[in-house]
Amino acid sequence: MKFTKMHGIGNDYIYINLFDEKVDNPEELSRRLSDRHFGVGSDGLVLIGPSETGDFSMRMFNVDGSEAQMCGNAARCVGKFVYDKGLTTKKEIALETRSGIKMVELTVNPDTDKVESVRINMGPAILSAEAIPVQFPLSEIIDYPLSIDGSEYRITCVSMGNPHAVVFTTNIDALNIEDIGPKIETHPAFPERTNVEFIEIIDRHTLKMRVWERGSGETLACGTGACASVVAGVLNGLCEPQATVLLKGGNLEIEWNRAENNVYLTGAAEFVFEGSV
């Protein structure tokens, strides 16, 4: 089986082209290949295939084999993959995901005819507690006190097709994310678990982020998490609807168009290497 390793600002996945390959058990394959000691090493597995409702489809599996609804960094890489590999000549692609069709806009270098950056309409920010889902006695969870091990964390919950709990704090570099991340992820209030973003406000147009991803642990970047964090920042009066999010793997540009309630994500996508297993 041939595969391609790609990353979106350090959020790395193994990509398999289902037009050429067949995958019978993606859950097990993701667990095996994602292992950084005994496998290829990645934050998960992404399958690129045909779609009846869009131009291409994307399925994404975490390190633990669980399937995610959406991943912004992976979607950007899929856009670069299908264009640079000659699977399409379109510069605007309708990508089918578990959270619906996402429109992927490609910026192509005219000299090399290769994708330089990718902008994705990530769709609406979902604030309904029931839809996220999160089980607290409120219709929306904004700056809500969550008590864990005697400490209080003020969380704002947003779904970008997958659930996020955003915590605004200070000095996130010193945060023991390995301890608190899984405790919030698996809190009983989140019946489907949740991704957790820890955000330090630099200024009204700049946010610094660390992320604990549901099913994968801390990663270098999370596109949907960056989107959710800017939305949460706006809801809490901490940032503007257009902001740069600084992650361990690089920067993402986020814009929340509140009038249409669409969130746009722009960033780079890169090939790492190819191989066979």
Parallel, antiparallel, or unpaired: how do β-strands 56-62 and 92-97 relate?
parallel
Question: 157, 222, 227, 239: which one is catalytic?
Answer: 222
Q: How far apart are CA 259 and CA 263, in angstroms?
A: 11
Q: Which of 182, 172, 177 is nearest to 245 (CA)?
A: 172
Contact criterion met (CB below 8 Å) for 266 and 115: no
Catalytic, 157? Answer no
Q: How far apart are CA 152 and CA 139, in angstroms?
A: 21
Q: How far apart are CA 224 and CA 23, in angstroms?
A: 26
Q: How far apart are CA 123 and CA 94, in angstroms?
A: 12
Q: How far apart are CA 147 and CA 92, in angstroms?
A: 44
Question: 71, 77, 157, 239: which one is catalytic?
Answer: 71
Q: How far apart are CA 169 and CA 198, in angstroms?
A: 7
Catalytic, 77? Answer no
Q: How far apart are CA 50 and CA 254, in angstroms?
A: 28
- Token look-up 């979106």 returns 8
Burial string for 17-28 (b: 16+ CB within 10 Å, else e) reads beeeeebeebee
The residues annotated with a catalytic role in the active site are 71, 222
